[in-house]
Amino acid sequence: MSIIINEKVSKVARKDIVELQEKIRSFRKGEIAEERFKAFRLARGVYGQRQQGVQMFRIKLPFGRLTSEQLVRLADLSEKYTNGNLHLTTRQNVQMHYIRLEDTPGLWSQLEEVGITTREACGNTVRNITASAKAGIDPDEPFDVAPYAQAVFEYFLRNPICQDMGRKIKMAFSSSEKDSAFAFLHDFGFIPRVRQEEGKEIRGFKVLVGGGLGAQAMLAHTAYEFLEEDKIIPFIEAGLRVFDRYGEREKRFKARLKFLVEGKKGLGLEKFLELVEEERTALPHQTYPIDLNTVKTALPPENIIVPEVNIEDPELYDYWLKTNVFEQKQKGFYAVKVKVDLGNIDAETARQLARLVKTFAADDMRVTIQQGILIKYVKPELLPAIYDGLEKLNLSRAGAETIADITACPGTDTCNLGVTNSTDISLVLEEMIRKEFRSLVLENDIAIKISGCMNSCGQHMVANIGFHGSSIKNGALVIPALQVVIGGGVDASGKGFIADKVIKLPSKKIPTALKAVLNDYQEHAHEGEYFNDYYQRQGKMYFYNLLKVFADISTLAPEDYVDWGHSEQFVPEIGVGECAGVTLDVVGTIINDASEKFGRASDALTEKDYSAVIYDSYNALIIGAKALLLSEDQHCNTHIGIVRDFDEYFVKSGKFLWEGSFQENVLAINKNEPTGSFATAYHETAQVFLDKVKKYRQLQMNAEGTDQEKLVVDNYYKA
């Protein structure tokens, strides 16, 4: 049954939605292999979860911007299609769980009606572009970075260069040098700066590349101390082209930009930037001015009638004002940080929150990287009304973005990769902190983050105190455990730090262990000493010795073998991550992939989108060459390796008749401007090559005396 798509949905989005519906039908009929279908649906925001038969559906919200209309639509759809819960993520997104696969096209269509896409929310693509939630109102910002984040989002959405990369790319824009968006841990990070030239203010960014979390966290490298604003998109595009061509694809663990930029086994920063410069000629834009009007400032309604509000607990209200409210750079307006426990908000609460915001504040909420919501442009006389409204929704809890607001990924609740519980333990720790460490909440210095596994969706490696899911064996039994990490985050100057792994402890010992750390800090820190400074002064071994008493498993009680939120004995159940990409296929299908890319190039040629013609033709050449290399069991782990190996193995040996150098033909992509004449010639090269590939493959099969395509398994099929 076809869905009815509203006329509000754009032509390109309509095409996407129809394609998803058709692919689902083909998959259900057995016409598409599961692994191949997985790669497709991931790039449409459809992610398999721990529970079989249902999906997590992730949307894409650039810099976390959310209007009341969009929040209401999300709430309504969550009730229509699932359990009525919206989950706010550390990447400023919203996720819905327990979605039926067949419902995803209709859900997506109704999201597009209010300007929300799910395209490239998952998979090996450019993920959601994050930014400081305070962008536009931050008293410390030189200018609003939101229009820049929006421009990057729009430019790379559906862009041919980032549809089939070896792994995902994450980007962030911080609003100031304080780096509240953690630019230092992203593939591409941007910090706004201005300089004066002949009395004129020039906007630009400090540019960081090659950062990342995961099992092996790395700090980003500084590519530029100052890059003019109109050059950031060309730089990103050139960088993505280098990553696409040189990035590792066979070993998934190494298939991130951080390893390519890293100097020991990767290219190193200097070589990476050299290759970026080599791509400049081929770019469709040498400069790309940013339209600052794409993100308009939303102001609150005029002449708001100030309601009479009775604050029942003035002390609690004052506590909320101190921790959850700050004055914007626009004098006379205040922003309110809303703490959302575990990032979960039910549909009715979301609808009422949307009404509250639209009545008393700017219709421009921001989902924060701390899994909360920021409300903007509140007049001081309306703060009591906001507080009263939030209190009625159970959203007025003080301590947002403090030690009492713990970030936690869903962990074993829904994620395949989760090792231990992240959510119940977070609530236990928050309650303990509120009761016993109220003064630390007011100081707003320590951030605690928890991930269910080492992959760091809860961003534990940039926490002052962090934890990630693990386990400890004790004979035949397994103990749920959390790895303790300390010392991550951003210092007062904006310098980023990756936390140190200190010790692994049984999960049930974590509350007393955390209490020991906080008591020690309060007792022995110097006057005014920040927690991370205290950690650095004492050293890792000091904290190891402080906590090792809690690591003794010889005295564990039966309840220590049960994870938080569970009643049964702990048994690790770790599934396979959804972002691994395709791991098996047949050679003929890979050749069909090349033909599909060529078809897209042909469509782009008709539309005179020459840059797309060239890149899709390039992909057709790469995939076609890969198919033949795989047919003879040759590894394919990078695009540049495929090009070189094809020349050596097929062309120079005379096995494949090709005039000149295949490598020179393919790499003409970065030596020519994207003109109509070059696009046409390059497209013709791809067509000739694919015709030869198909004929060669048929001759191979004839020689083998078979009409059955060869199955390519595991490590051979990655690039």
Which pLDDT does position 582 carry in this prediction? 42
Reported as a pLDDT band with limits 50, 70 and 90, residue 585 is low
Mean pLDDT over 656-662 rounds to 94
Which amino acid is residue 576, in one-letter code?
V
Last residue of a domain, one of 392, 425, 445: 392
Name the residue with tokens 């209190």: 391
* Co-location of 471 and 600 in the same domain: no
Q: How is residue 150 written in tokens?
A: 């929006």
* Co-location of 447 and 526 in the same domain: yes
Which pLDDT does position 574 carry in this prediction? 61
24 within a domain of the structure (yes/no): yes
Which pLDDT does position 3 carry in this prediction? 86
Which pLDDT does position 635 carry in this prediction? 83
Region at 451 (left for phi over 0; alpha for psi -120 to 50; beta for the rest): beta
Q: Is the pLDDT of residue 435 over 70?
A: yes
Are 452 and 412 in contact by the 8 Å Cβ rule? The answer is yes
Q: Is the pLDDT of residue 712 over 70?
A: no
Lowest average pLDDT, out of 9-23, 30-44, 269-283, 286-300, goes to: 30-44
Q: Could you give the angle at which helices 639-646 and 232-246 cross, rounded to 10 degrees?
A: 50
* Co-location of 495 and 536 in the same domain: yes
Model confidence over 21-35: pLDDT tens digits? Answer: 999 999 999 998 888
Which residues have C-beta within 8 Å of that of residue 254, sequence separation ≥ 6? 248, 265
Lowest average pLDDT, out of 296-300, 411-415, 631-635, goes to: 411-415
Mean pLDDT over 218-245 rounds to 97
Q: Is the pLDDT of residue 508 over 90?
A: yes
CA dihedral 358→359→365→367, nearest 10 degrees, is -100
Using alpha carbons only, give the angle 378, 381, 383 rounded to the nearest 5 degrees.
55
**Residues of the chain above pLDDT 70, percent:** 96
Model confidence over 586-641: pLDDT tens digits? Answer: 788 889 999 999 999 999 999 999 999 999 999 999 999 999 999 988 888 899 99
Model confidence over 5-25: pLDDT tens digits? Answer: 999 999 999 999 999 999 999
* Co-location of 436 and 485 in the same domain: yes
* Co-location of 245 and 178 in the same domain: yes
Q: How is residue 46 written in tokens?
A: 């459809």
503 within a domain of the structure (yes/no): yes
Cβ count within 10 A of residue 354: 22
Q: What is the mean pLDDT of the chain?
A: 93
Q: Is the pLDDT of residue 673 over 60?
A: yes
Reported as a pLDDT band with limits 50, 70 and 90, residue 717 is very low
Query: What does residue 525 show for φ and ψ, rounded to 5 degrees?
Result: -70, 150
Which pLDDT does position 455 carry in this prediction? 86
C-alpha 667: how far from chain center: 30
> Number of C-alpha atoms within 13 angstroms, CB side, residue 246?
23
Which pLDDT does position 714 carry in this prediction? 46
566 within a domain of the structure (yes/no): no
Q: Is the pLDDT of residue 501 over 70?
A: yes
588 within a domain of the structure (yes/no): yes
Q: Is the pLDDT of residue 306 over 50?
A: yes
Mean pLDDT over 207-220 rounds to 93
> How far is residue 196 from each of residues 15, 200, 204, 329, 668, measured CA to CA in Å?
46, 5, 11, 22, 39
* Co-location of 271 and 344 in the same domain: no
Which pLDDT does position 584 carry in this prediction? 44
In DSSP terms, which residues pair with 191 in a beta bridge? 206
Q: Residues 189-192: contacts with CB within 8 Å, 24+ apart?
A: 189/220, 190/145, 190/148, 190/232, 191/494, 192/141, 192/142, 192/143, 192/145
* Co-location of 169 and 255 in the same domain: yes
CATH of the domain at 656: 1.20.120.330
* Co-location of 289 and 318 in the same domain: no
Mean pLDDT over 175-196 rounds to 97
Which pLDDT does position 711 carry in this prediction? 62
**What's 558-598 look like in SS3?**
HHHHCCCCCCCCCCCCCCCCCCCCCCEEEHHHHHHHHHHHH
148 within a domain of the structure (yes/no): yes
* Co-location of 284 and 373 in the same domain: no
* Co-location of 156 and 282 in the same domain: yes
Name the residue with tokens 């939120």: 565
Please count the structural domains in the chain: 5
Which pLDDT does position 716 carry in this prediction? 39
> Number of C-alpha atoms within 13 angstroms, CB side, residue 369?
28
Mean pLDDT over 330-353 rounds to 97
Which amino acid is residue 620, in one-letter code?
A
Last residue of a domain, one of 365, 392, 419: 392
Mean pLDDT over 697-718 rounds to 69
DSSP 502-541: EEEEEGGGHHHHHHHHHHHHHHHSPTT--HHHHHHHH-HH
For strand 448-451 and strand 407-408, is the pairing parallel, antiparallel, or unpaired?
parallel
Q: Is the pLDDT of residue 253 over 60?
A: yes
Q: Is the pTM of this model over 0.85?
A: yes
Q: How is residue 417 written in tokens?
A: 């990769």
DSSP 108-176: HHHHHTTT-B-TTSSSSSEEEEEE-TTTTT-TT-SS--HHHHHHHHHHHTT-GGGSS-SS-EEEEE-SS
Dihedral sign computed on CA atoms, order 480, 486, 492, 496: negative
Mean pLDDT over 374-385 rounds to 98
Model confidence over 539-580: pLDDT tens digits? Answer: 999 999 999 999 999 989 999 999 999 989 988 776 555 654
227 within a domain of the structure (yes/no): yes
304 within a domain of the structure (yes/no): no
Mean pLDDT over 227-247 rounds to 97
Are 508 and 549 in contact by the 8 Å Cβ rule? The answer is no
Last residue of a domain, one of 264, 296, 328: 296
* Co-location of 384 and 412 in the same domain: no
302 within a domain of the structure (yes/no): no
Which amino acid is residue 227, in one-letter code?
L
Which residues have C-beta within 8 Å of that of residue 40, sequence separation ≥ 6? 23, 32
Lowest average pLDDT, out of 253-267, 269-283, 374-388, 473-487, goes to: 253-267
CATH of the domain at 152: 3.30.413.10
Q: How is residue 347 written in tokens?
A: 């549909």
CA distance 500 to 481: 17
Q: Is the pLDDT of residue 432 over 70?
A: yes
CA distance 41 to 101: 10
* Co-location of 379 and 439 in the same domain: no
CATH of the domain at 4: 3.90.480.20
Nearest alpha carbon to residue 22 among 6, 7, 44, 53:
44
Q: Which domain holds residue 709?
A: 584-716
CA distance 108 to 74: 11
Mean pLDDT over 193-198 rounds to 94
Are 545 and 520 in contact by the 8 Å Cβ rule? The answer is no
Which residues have C-beta within 8 Å of that of residue 596, sequence separation ≥ 6? none
